[in-house]
Amino acid sequence: MKKFAVVLAGSGVFDGSEIHEATLTMYSISKNGAVYDVFAPDIEQHHVLNHLNGNEMDEKRNVLIESARLARGAVKNLSEFDPQNYDALIIPGGFGVAKNLCDFAFKGPDCQANPDLVKAMKAMKDMGKPIGALCIAPVLFPKVFGDQVELTIGQDAGTAEALENMGAVHKNTNHGEVVIDEKNKLFSTPCYMLDANIAQIGEGTDNIVKSMMKYM
């Protein structure tokens, strides 16, 4: 059976991984006959937000521990990732990607990415294995792989401009559409970067997983 590595950024759309996207990614992997392991970096979250009112909370949380909530406890430290054991890597969205896995939310095109994630992504690409990114997660592609990577974050003009300033080639997409960078085996779909319902998120996760599996 083909095996995915799913990389999470915590738990909760505003300061971690988007829960619908993460859950439906895992569901789509299983639904389409593959298996997965979940990974997250053992780092402190940038901050903790109250998801009811959006206010910042005076507490600290760990990305690995929070990701365990979504993985039902079965989460591995990203520093232990071995690309030999996986056929593909996929990253659901959520603000945690842009706050914890990188700092795009604060620095835009000048962002830096988590070194363990950079190492994992580069290793997978070097081995010719597909990498998928949902929602805001495609911002990692030009940061890790440089100019001319093809991707989508939907239709948000400001974010698209920032990505193009990083050297990416952005393509506008609608619900469920997947942009495939054939040369680099990079896959992206917009999910909640568009105004979406949960059924449309499921369509996106299913389409990107199916597309990636054709290259595995």
Tens-place pLDDT, residues 56-105: 999 999 999 999 999 999 999 999 999 999 999 999 999 999 999 999 99
115 contacts 165 by C-beta, under 8 angstroms? no
- Known active-site residue 135: yes
Q: What does residue 82 show for φ and ψ, rounded to 5 degrees?
A: -120, 110
CATH number of domain containing 19: 3.40.50.880
Residue 180 pLDDT level (bands cut at 50, 70, 90):
very high
Confidence of residue 168 (pLDDT cuts 50, 70, 90): very high
Determine the Cα–Cα distance for residues 149 and 153; give it in Å rounded to an integer. 13
Q: What pLDDT score was predicted for residue 129?
A: 98
Closest alpha carbon to 155 in 114, 194, 212, 115: 194
pLDDT of residue 45: 97
Sign of torsion over alpha carbons 101, 75, 124, 203:
negative
The whole-number pLDDT of residue 19 equals 98
d(CA 147, CA 10): 28
What domain range includes position 165? Answer: 3-213
At how many degrees (to 10) do helices 19-31 and 198-213 cross? 50
Alpha-carbon distance 63 to 17, whole Å? 10
Q: What is the pLDDT of residue 17?
A: 98
pLDDT in tens, 137-154: 999 999 999 989 999 999
Average pLDDT across the chain, whole number: 97
pLDDT, tens only, 105-122: 999 999 999 999 999 999
- Mean pLDDT, residues 205-216 taken together: 98
Q: What is the mean pLDDT of residues 164-177?
A: 97
pTM for the full predicted model = 0.97
Domain count of the fold of the chain: 1
